[in-house]
Amino acid sequence: MITSSSADLFGLSLALIAGLALGCAFFYSLWFTVQKGLLSNHPAYWFLGGVLLRMSSAILVFYWVANNDMWRLIVCLVGFILGRLLITKYLAKQDRRTMVSGEPNNAP
């Protein structure tokens, strides 16, 4: 039998997972956009398209996950911040490996 508190906990944990996934996707796509924009002949298209896509998807996911519940929104935001921390650590390790392998990692 599922009680009200266990259903709330399940909903909050799903909101945390959704926020974590959104944060990872948001900040990885930010990194990807900057990498592509620096090498592109038309960087404004990359930066403008990237910010519109990232912001619209983040707003839609936050709205969908919150579902008129303040606590779900707060937990989703916490997951978003945790996703930022995870993807930042991951990309920092990846950049260190690239620098060790000898590939140049600078702007043209």
The average confidence (pLDDT) of the chain is 89
- Read off the pTM: 0.81
59 is a domain residue = yes
Give 97's Cβ-side CA count (13 Å radius).
6
Q: Domain residues for 87?
A: 15-95
75 is a domain residue = yes
pLDDT in tens, 23-51: 999 999 999 999 999 999 999 999 999 99
108 is a domain residue = no
Taking 90 as the threshold, does the pLDDT of residue 103 lie above it?
no
Average pLDDT over residues 80-89: 96
65 is a domain residue = yes
Domains: count for the chain: 1
Q: How would you write the chain as a 3-class SS string?
A: CCCHHHHHHHHHHHHHHHHHHHHHHHHHHHHHHHHHHHHCCCHHHHHHHHHHHHHHHHHHHHHHHHCCCHHHHHHHHHHHHHHHHHHHHHHHHHHHHHHHHCCCCCCC
What is the model's pLDDT at position 106?
57
